[in-house]
A and B are shown apart, each in its own frame.
Chain A
Amino acid sequence: MIDQAFIVSVLTMGGLGLAFAACLAIASVKFRVEEDPIVEAVLEALPGTNCGACGFAGCHSLAVKMACKEVAVNACPVAGQEGADMIAKALGVEAVEALRDVAVVLCRGGDAESVKSASYRGDMTCASAVITGGEKDCSYSCLGYGDCVKVCCFDSMGMNANGMPEVFFDKCVGCGACVRACPRDIIEMHPEDKTLFVYCRNKDKGAAAKKVCKVSCIGCMLCKKDCEVPGGIKIENFLAVIDYELCPQDDVAIKRCPTKCILNGENVKMTSASFAAQNTLNK
């Protein structure tokens, strides 16, 4: 014998559920919003991961903007050239070459280069280590616990034997997850045709910067003097800053750098294949 309260409860809940479902069914027909077929076609070409790399709230809001031609068809860094072509076809416009953004780790002070005078015992994440300052003396450097590698869902980053994260130029889709994960703001997104970078974030005076790391920028001004375009490289807070609007992406400015912290083409070299080769060599 089943308890009567049980039957009544089930019937009540079931009845109410059905009644509400019926109301919603009627409402969904009555308040139906016709989706623009162009938006749907664009949405089809987008990855649909809602990663936010384009700067919009999600793939749908980007698709709406693309459909009314407010943003370029290559605005999605993840869809790449193939996606841009498909969207261009759906919108009936000329295809544009997609230039993706690639993450660059602007610090080269790994275990071998940096000075460590503390030991860190705690949660092995950069987000925790940054509170106490980590092991390295440089307070601007990479902490080396690989938060950026952990958040990368495209397998396009890895930690090398020197305890530094590396971005694989061939695999990075430019979603910017690593940029947000880094508590020290060392990782930046740059268009893939940019190759000249200052791989240091230390804003201390030259002597102090040199003391904590072998490859820090000491603000010596040599790259500024050597740069072919005046103002192409500036020194701000004892740190060289490249003006990408002006500076030519070549080897002239980097030749006399005493600590070799300004480099050209370094970001293009590291691919997933070369990283794997290096890692097996070290093992």
Chain B
Amino acid sequence: MDSMIQIMLIFISAAVVNNFVLAYFLGICPFLGVSKKTDTALNMGFATTFVMVLTAAISWLINNLILLKYNLPFLQNVTYIITIASLVQLVELFVRKSSPSLYRSLGIFLPLIVTNCAILGLALFSALREYTFVQSLFFGLGAGVGFTLALVIMAGIREELEFADVPESLKGAPITLLVAGMLALAFMGFAGLISA
């Protein structure tokens, strides 16, 4: 029972309280790049979540079965990066086959998931915190859900912003960054809800 509560806490912590985008400021590039339309943002969020869960699983396996066993923790960064790169390639091939329209709307941001630091951050965090396999799976899922949440909220606000009377000098990037900052401030309200 305790472990169940532990897993739930890890999930909620990664998704809301310590949101990767809004609390750790990881993965800002797609957060600003793909948050113009809600449905694209949602799909990007799903693709990233998928990569995150797979990364969490595979990086845990590599870390615990190979790296720690043979005393090679210094290879963590490199192995995680090739894991992520291969996974994203896989997702790209899959999306291209299964949904050409989604492939087009995500455009360059799909292969750019490789360089999304939130994913490398996820793998490194879960190694650092010595999660069990199931825990790191839920950590990955939580991080993905949190990323999707941030993206969709941002996209919703930006869609409304299209109709807002924004001062001339703040149009475009400045107002987007201001909104992102306010969103991060709002998410700080969750701070202290769960420790760690």
Contact = CB atoms under 8 A, between A and B. Distances in A.
Give the interface SS of chain B, mostly helix, strand, loop or mixed.
helix
Interface stretch (A25-33, A160-168, A218-226, A228-236): A25-33
B173 interface: no
B90 A12 contact: no
B125 interface: no
Interface stretch (B16-24, B27-35, B78-86, B149-157): B78-86
Contact of B90 (A17, A23, A33): A23
Given A20-B83, A23-B86, A24-B89, A8 B72 contact: yes
B62 A5 contact: no
B75 interface: yes
B71 interface: yes
Contacts of B82: 13, 16-17, 20
A59 to B, nearest CB: 15
Contact of A5 (B71, B97, B107): B71
B96 A27 contact: no
Interface in B64-79: 66-67, 70-72, 75, 78-79
30 contacts: A5-B71, A8-B70, A9-B75, A12-B67, A12-B72, A12-B79, A13-B78, A13-B79, A16-B66, A16-B79, A16-B83, A17-B82, A21-B86, A23-B86, A23-B90, A24-B86, A24-B93, A27-B89, A27-B90, A27-B93, A31-B93, A31-B94, A31-B96, A31-B97, A32-B97, A33-B96, A33-B97, A33-B100, A57-B107, A61-B104
Interface of B: 62, 66-67, 70-72, 75, 78-79, 82-83, 86, 89-90, 93-94, 96-97, 100, 104, 107
